[in-house]
A and B are shown apart, each in its own frame.
Chain A
Amino acid sequence: MENSWFQKGFKKIEEPKSPDSMIESLMSDVHAAFAVQPMCYTAFDLISSLAQGFDLSGLFEKEERSGSMFTTKKEAKEIVSKFEEIATSSERFDLKKINVGVIKMEDRREGRKGQVAIEVEIFEVTESFNMVEFKKSGGDTMEYKQFCDRELKPSSKDIVWKWQGN
């Protein structure tokens, strides 16, 4: 059975499940449902994301913006795990899936302007090349920036290939 030729199409017969393992498989189903399906990115979406010159907001903003978009060679589920990890270790943020390819990190605490919320969107270019964009979707901008600069960006370093923007 070690020979891979025998393992092709081989399906192991499962033993009947005990109540505990039922719960476990239920949780993994929940996890699977929670699995983030990234949005499909066309070549043009990729071009406009990479081309910072396409974003004319720079004409109206007074300071240089710090990038909140990065390319990654990791798959979607690794990206989600990383954000889960960041949320857990922050001891403040909860992670929720809100849409196809979109997850939300929400601060449990109330800040100066309500709860800081961050929307993270994953765009699939190819399976091992994704674009991740995150932005503030609620709360005080300064508190959002502080979290990004102190925790989110440093902790996401091992999945980032290149930051887009400055």
Chain B
Amino acid sequence: MGCLHSTAAREYSGHENPVKLASETAFSVSEVEALYELFKSISSSVVDDGLINKEEFQLALFKNRKKENLFANRIFDLFDVKRKGVIDFGDFVRSLNVFHPNASLEEKTDFTFRLYDMDCTGYIERQEVKQMLIALLCESEMKLADDTIEAILDQTFEDADVDRDGKIGKTEWSDFVIKNPSLLKIMTLPYLRDITTTFPSFVFNSEVDEIAT
């Protein structure tokens, strides 16, 4: 056991131990190790400092550094759990955990709530949603008449904003998600089930084999 800890310490210096991360998430130790391969390649792409900054995150998502994207920024902020402006390995694994097919509905619902609550008021306000929609349409170079946007919002808030206070609270959001499960479609990455086959290089430095021997 002493052997495992010292090799893990060497390999993952400065980062959380994969065994610990595996125990706190839906990932197995080998899966965390595979995620570490992914993390290493992303975090070294612009600045080789063992941390993922915004530019590196964008590059990994879009394979294109120039693509400034409102929502990629939002996701980055949510992954940047400690609000340091960079994502470390622990943040990375714990955040990806929410996207695991086995993560709970509650965790996924909570993540999407925080995603859309852009100004972090604890509510998803109608004006907020409108701004998001306009910003995205702009990014996609599409224009919609204001009436059309208002009609879309009317329909959605009619369904979601049960107490008619112009904003969607956590409970209203949970209920709304149950009625519209497609809203959580983005919250599951089937890739996470096969992560060890997607990143096979972990096989050559796996700690798991050492435990077995």
Contacts and interface: CB of A to CB of B under 8 A. Distances in A.
Contacts, number: 97
Given A45-B183, A60-B189, A126 B61 contact: no
B104 interface: no
Interface residues of B, number: 45
B27 interface: no
Interface stretch (B6-14, B16-24, B135-143, B203-211): B135-143
A129 B61 contact: no
B162 interface: no
B75 interface: yes
Contact of B191 (A42, A54, A60, A129): A60
Contact of A53 (B74, B99, B133, B144): B74
Nearest to B139: A50
A15 interface: no
Interface in B93-122: 96, 99, 115-116
21 contacts: A42-B183, A44-B156, A44-B183, A46-B152, A47-B116, A50-B133, A51-B69, A51-B136, A52-B71, A53-B72, A53-B73, A54-B71, A56-B96, A56-B186, A57-B189, A58-B63, A60-B198, A64-B63, A162-B140, A162-B141, A164-B140
Interface of A: 39-40, 42-48, 50-60, 63-64, 71, 125-126, 129, 161-162, 164
| Pairs A-B, 10 closest by C-beta atoms | A53-B72, A53-B71, A51-B71, A43-B156, A50-B136, A58-B61, A53-B69, A60-B191, A42-B156, A54-B186
